[in-house]
């Protein structure tokens, strides 16, 4: 599963709820990336790196301009520079949830509020933190992220981890990260990630309609259809676990019920996969020892996406109006915001 992370550097400033070592690795990790930036146009002109990388970088500039011209996303210097990483991912996110809860543990910071994960630039440090949380009784997941956003506080570089082979995925990750700069609501990771994912999907649709060849368009849409079916399965499992945890108190019953629901999910995946003509894209994800943290992460990115898509449709698919509506909804009191999203999701479910 693609994990497009929002890990904000400014969240570490003036905070006293975490260790100095954590702040140090964030500052050092981000500073190292910023110091390694190279201007993409200069790379292309000087023919630095392989022809394949230069071609992907040239395409990224086209996508970047499309984001401004066609999607009304921020016009700044983000993603106009490049960093070739010495590792597969820039950061790894640690997600935790209690043994009988599908709500992700929150880490709260000044400036950006509370978020549902904790990012590390070093995989060993992420795994150490995960072991600590597991020893405390949490369900834990460590998820690599191909990118992160500083919400426009810095000129974020394009990373080698973002240079997907398929054009649509390169476009999608740029649109997703720029969307975080367009709208960001404190204390609501699900809102922020689902909004960015909705912009990503709409942006790629428009990009492919203008630039994609019919075969690439068809492949991408088929992948997104199957991803939607997979996410529906995970959302259903998430809801079944949530219902169990809210209605049952006996630990033995909770433990058995949790195992049963996850086993049912894996069985249902096997049935679903038979309709995909041999597509095994999610086999590796399903093969892991799935716990509440994995499902909480999926919910953060995808649970509210249909609601945002409905909001876009209600604004006649006009992105300027959509962004204004998203900002308005983000400023509502939490209870009103939740009620609105519940209504939108119920409407979508009724239509389907």
Q: DSSP label at 104?
A: B
Is 14 a residue whose pLDDT tops 80? no
Proportion of the chain in helix, strand, coil states, percent, rounded to 5:
60, 10, 30
Backbone φ and ψ for 187, nearest 5 degrees, come out as 70, 20
Range of the domain at 173: 9-303
169 in a domain, yes or no? yes
If one counts every other C-beta atom within 10 angstroms of the C-beta of residue 82, the result is 26
Cβ-contact 32, 46 below 8 angstroms: no
Residue 305 C-alpha from the chain's centroid: 11
C-alpha 108/C-alpha 175 separation (Å) is 26
C-alpha 55/C-alpha 276 separation (Å) is 32
Quote the longest CA-to-CA distance of the chain. Answer: 66
152 in a domain, yes or no? yes
Q: Which of 17-31, 109-123, 275-289 tops mean pLDDT?
A: 275-289
pLDDT of the residue at 16: 44
Reported as a pLDDT band with limits 50, 70 and 90, residue 13 is very low
4 in a domain, yes or no? no
* Span 121-171, pLDDT tens digits: 999 999 999 999 999 999 999 999 999 888 888 899 999 999 988 899 999
Q: Tokens 């590792």 belong to which residue? A: 87
Q: Which residues contact 229 (CB under 8 A, 6 or more apart)?
A: 272
For the stretch 330-344, what's the b/e string if a residue is b when 16 or more beta carbons lie within 10 angstroms of its beta carbon? beeeeeebeeebeeb
Q: Which residues contact 92 (CB under 8 A, 6 or more apart)?
A: 119, 120, 122, 123, 126, 127, 142, 143, 144, 145
Instruction: Tell me which of 3-7, 163-167, 170-174 is least confident.
Output: 3-7
Distance spanning both ends of the chain, measured CA to CA: 25
Averaged pLDDT for residues 205-234? 88
DSSP string, 289-303: ---HHHHHHHHHHHT
pLDDT of the residue at 27: 82
Q: Which of 115-129, 163-177, 311-325 tops mean pLDDT?
A: 311-325
pLDDT of the residue at 6: 39
315 in a domain, yes or no? no
Reported as a pLDDT band with limits 50, 70 and 90, residue 5 is very low
* Span 55-105, pLDDT tens digits: 999 999 999 999 999 999 999 999 999 999 999 999 999 999 999 999 999
pLDDT of the residue at 152: 85
135 in a domain, yes or no? yes
Average pLDDT across the chain, whole number:
90
Q: Interior CA angle at 94 toward 88 and 97, to 5°?
A: 150
Backbone φ and ψ for 316, nearest 5 degrees, come out as 55, 30
Percent of the chain with pLDDT over 70: 92
Backbone φ and ψ for 107, nearest 5 degrees, come out as -115, 125
Note if the pTM is more than 0.85. yes
83 bridge partner residues: 159
Cβ-contact 303, 340 below 8 angstroms: no
Is 243 a residue whose pLDDT tops 50? yes
H or E element: which one contains 339?
helix 334-351
Reported as a pLDDT band with limits 50, 70 and 90, residue 183 is very high
Top pLDDT among 63 and 298 is at 63
107 bridge partner residues: 115
* Span 244-263, pLDDT tens digits: 999 999 999 999 999 999 99
Cβ-contact 180, 188 below 8 angstroms: no
325 in a domain, yes or no? no
Reported as a pLDDT band with limits 50, 70 and 90, residue 278 is confident
Percent of the chain with pLDDT over 90: 72
208 in a domain, yes or no? yes
* Span 30-48, pLDDT tens digits: 889 999 999 999 999 999 9
Top pLDDT among 112 and 313 is at 313
pLDDT of the residue at 112: 61
H or E element: which one contains 159?
strand 158-159
Q: How many residues can be counted in the chain?
A: 352
Reported as a pLDDT band with limits 50, 70 and 90, residue 1 is very low
Q: Which two tokens stand for residue 129?
A: 């933190």
29 in a domain, yes or no? yes
Is 15 a residue whose pLDDT tops 50? no
Q: In the chain, how many domains are there?
A: 1
């Amino acid at each position: 599963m693609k994990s497009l992370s929002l890990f904000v550097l400014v969240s570490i400033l003036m905070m006293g709820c975490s260790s100095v070592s954590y702040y140090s690795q964030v500052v050092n990790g981000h500073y190292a990336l910023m110091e390694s930036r190279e201007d993409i146009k200069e790379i292309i002109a000087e023919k630095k790196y392989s022809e394949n990388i230069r071609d992907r970088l040239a395409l990224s500039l086209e996508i970047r301009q499309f984001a401004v011209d066609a999607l009304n996303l921020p016009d700044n210097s983000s993603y106009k520079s490049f960093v070739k990483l010495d590792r597969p991912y820039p950061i790894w996110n640690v997600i935790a949830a209690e043994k009988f809860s599908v709500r992700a543990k929150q880490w709260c910071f000044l400036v950006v509020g509370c978020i549902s994960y904790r990012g590390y630039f070093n995989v060993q440090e992420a795994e150490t933190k995960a072991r600590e949380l597991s020893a405390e009784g949490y369900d834990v997941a460590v998820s690599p992220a191909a990118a992160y956003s500083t919400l426009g506080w810095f000129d974020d570089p394009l990373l080698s981890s973002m240079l997907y082979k398929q054009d649509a995925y390169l476009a999608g990750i740029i649109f997703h990260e720029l969307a975080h700069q367009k709208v960001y609501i404190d204390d609501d990771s699900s809102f922020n990630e689902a909004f960015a994912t909705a912009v990503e999907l709409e942006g790629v649709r428009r990009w492919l309609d203008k630039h994609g060849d019919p075969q690439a368009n068809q492949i991408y849409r088929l992948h997104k259809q199957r991803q939607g079916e997979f996410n529906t399965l995970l959302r259903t499992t998430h809801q079944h676990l949530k219902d169990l945890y809210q209605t049952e108190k006996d630990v033995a019953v909770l433990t058995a019920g949790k195992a049963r629901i996850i086993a049912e999910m894996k069985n249902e995946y096997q049935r679903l996969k038979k309709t995909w003509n041999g597509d095994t894209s999610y086999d590796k994800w399903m093969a892991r020892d799935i716990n509440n943290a994995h499902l909480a992460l999926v919910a953060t990115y995808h649970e509210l996406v249909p609601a945002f898509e409905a909001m876009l449709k209600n604004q006649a698919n006009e992105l300027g109006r959509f962004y204004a509506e998203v900002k308005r909804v983000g400023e509502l009191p939490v209870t009103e915001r939740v009620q609105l999203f519940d209504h939108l999701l119920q409407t979508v479910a009724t239509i389907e």
